[in-house]
């Protein structure tokens, strides 16, 4: 049957215009970071097939892109440090706004925040944003640390006496010096973007102080899974990942109750950018995809699914009620006023961070 159909299929394909045949979009995005329905709909509407790969740390993304010729048409780096570095290196293609009419849906106030590192917003549109904090099994943490424990502080993780009490329950830290060190420095009362030898010594001391109580240092995608199953009791990771894990745990109804802690010491706030590598094989398809994602209804579906806020205000009324009313997804103005945005450390500081991180991972 199939054999008889194949020549027919080939005939049909060859009748299509050449351009239509090779319309493929190569996407490299964070894991658990899109509504699969949106991707299917894009293909249905445009005929462009999507090849979709994922990463779950900025270090992995940077490693892939620094080698050049990644073959990707869309990448989603965090505004700082990764996107800022790519802009500076000329590694991104300036966007053609005429091909992205839905650009007008972007929140000008949010876009202004990333204009400092991308003057005129020429190379990227905000996709989603969020904070760094703790996913916790609320009941277990209360049981281990006492009913009066403050559930809004990094003390839960970073005070060695707390970590010691939670060790058996399962502590995890995402494997990303870029997205962990700023919060640790802030908890220590230091400049979260500090990069002196003294800053790093202090951060290393804090991390080493809890090291033997940490079960795993692993990329964010695995932490999401571990939170959802209840295997992780306290995990330092991205906000929406915790909220997705919370939803999955509820669906599984096995008694795993997950909460998100946005640290009162000041949470790291980040913005992830839709961008096109300078050497993207199919930049037209990439622009069509960005335009598609910036539609309010498409964006609303994405936020409802992945539980991260976006930068398209008109999408907000269309977001699922449970997500729209969750203050961990959409932090209050007061909570936001206590956040900070990470900067881009100088290259030599980057090496010091990498070495610090290897020692933390090795535990010596």
Cα(307)–Cα(207) distance, integer angstroms: 29
Contact residues for ligand N2P (CB under 6 A)? 30-33, 78, 220, 238, 241, 270, 272
Q: Which is nearer to ligand N2P, 166 or 329 (CB)?
A: 329
Which of 78/121 has CB closer to ligand N2P? 78
Spatial separation of the C-alpha atoms in residues 77 and 55, rounded to whole Å: 10
Closest approach, Cβ 102 to ligand N2P, in A, equals: 22
**For residues 220 and 282, which CB has a smaller minimum distance to ligand N2P in the complex?**
220
Which C-beta is closer to ligand N2P: that of 288 or that of 342? 342
Considering the complex, what minimum distance in angstroms separates the CB of residue 166 from ligand N2P? Answer: 23
Which DSSP letter does residue 259 get? Answer: E
Output 130 or 283, the one with its CB closest to ligand N2P: 130
**Closest among 237, 214, 213 to 225, alpha carbons compared:** 237
Report the nearest approach of ligand N2P to the CB of residue 239 (Å). 8
- Min. distance of Cβ 191 from ligand N2P in angstroms? 21
Distance of closest approach, residue 247 Cβ to ligand N2P, in angstroms: 13
Question: Min. distance of Cβ 241 from ligand N2P in angstroms?
Answer: 5
3-state SS string for 186-207: HHCCCCCCCCCHHHHHHHHHHH
List the structure tokens of 351: 């090496």
Cα(23)–Cα(10) distance, integer angstroms = 17
Residues 226 and 217: their CA atoms lie apart, in Å, by 12
The first and second tokens of residue 128, run together, are 């989603």
**Cα–Cα dist 236/172, whole Å:** 7
| Number of residues assigned to the chain | 364
Q: Which residue is nearest to ligand N2P (CB)?
A: 30
d(CA 166, CA 214): 9
DSSP 126-157: EEEEEEEEEEEEHHHHHHHH-TT--TTSTHHH
In the complex with ligand N2P, the residue whose CB is nearer, 78 or 282, is 78
- Closest CB to ligand N2P among 238 and 292? 238
Evaluated on CA atoms 175, 187, 110, 329, the torsion sign reads positive
For residue 129, the minimal CB distance to ligand N2P (Å) is: 8
Considering the complex, state which of residue 225 and residue 265 has its C-beta at the smaller distance from ligand N2P: 225
CB of 58 to ligand N2P, least distance (A): 7
DSSP state string for 49-105: EEEEEEESSHHHHHHHHHTS----SEE--BIIIIIHHHHHTT-BPPP-GGG-GGGGG
Residue 74 or 144 with smaller CB distance to ligand N2P? 74
The number of beta carbons lying within 10 Å of the beta carbon of residue 49 is 13
CB of 30 to ligand N2P, least distance (A): 4
């Amino acid at each position: 049957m199939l054999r008889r159909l194949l020549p027919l299929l080939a005939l049909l394909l060859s009748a299509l215009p050449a351009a239509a045949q090779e319309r493929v979009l190569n996407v490299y995005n964070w894991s658990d970071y899109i509504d699969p329905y949106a991707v299917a709909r894009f293909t249905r509407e445009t005929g462009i097939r999507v090849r979709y790969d994922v990463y779950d740390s900025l270090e992995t993304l940077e490693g892939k892109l620094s080698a050049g010729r990644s073959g990707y048409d869309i990448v989603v780096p965090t505004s700082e440090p990764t996107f800022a570095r790519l802009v500076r290196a000329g590694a991104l293609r300036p966007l053609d706004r005429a091909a992205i009419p839905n650009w007008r849906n972007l929140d000008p106030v949010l876009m202004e925040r990333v204009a400092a590192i991308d003057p005129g917003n020429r190379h990227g549109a905000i996709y989603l944003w969020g904070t760094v904090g703790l996913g916790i099994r609320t009941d277990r943490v209360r049981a281990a640390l006492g009913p009066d424990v403050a559930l809004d502080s990094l003390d839960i993780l970073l005070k060695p006496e707390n970590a010691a009490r939670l060790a058996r329950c399962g502590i995890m830290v995402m494997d990303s010096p870029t997205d962990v060190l700023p919060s640790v420095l802030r908890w220590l009362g230091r400049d979260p973007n500090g990069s002196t030898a003294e800053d790093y010594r202090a951060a290393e001391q804090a991390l080493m102080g809890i090291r033997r109580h940490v079960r795993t240092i692993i990329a964010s995608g695995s932490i999401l899974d571990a939170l959802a199953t209840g295997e992780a009791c306290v995990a330092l990771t991205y906000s929406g990942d915790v909220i997705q894990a919370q939803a999955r745990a509820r669906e599984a109804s096995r008694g795993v109750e997950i909460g998100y802690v946005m640290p009162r010491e000041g949470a790291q706030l980040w913005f992830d950018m839709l961008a096109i590598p300078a050497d993207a094989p199919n930049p037209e398809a990439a622009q069509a995809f960005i335009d598609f994602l910036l539609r309010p209804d498409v964006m609303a579906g994405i936020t409802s699914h992945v539980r991260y806020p976006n930068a398209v205000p008109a999408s907000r009324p269309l977001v699922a009620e449970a997500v729209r009313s969750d203050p961990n997804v959409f932090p209050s103005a007061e909570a936001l006023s206590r956040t900070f945005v990470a900067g881009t450390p100088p290259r030599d500081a980057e090496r010091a961070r990498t070495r610090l991180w290897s020692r933390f991972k090795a535990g010596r």
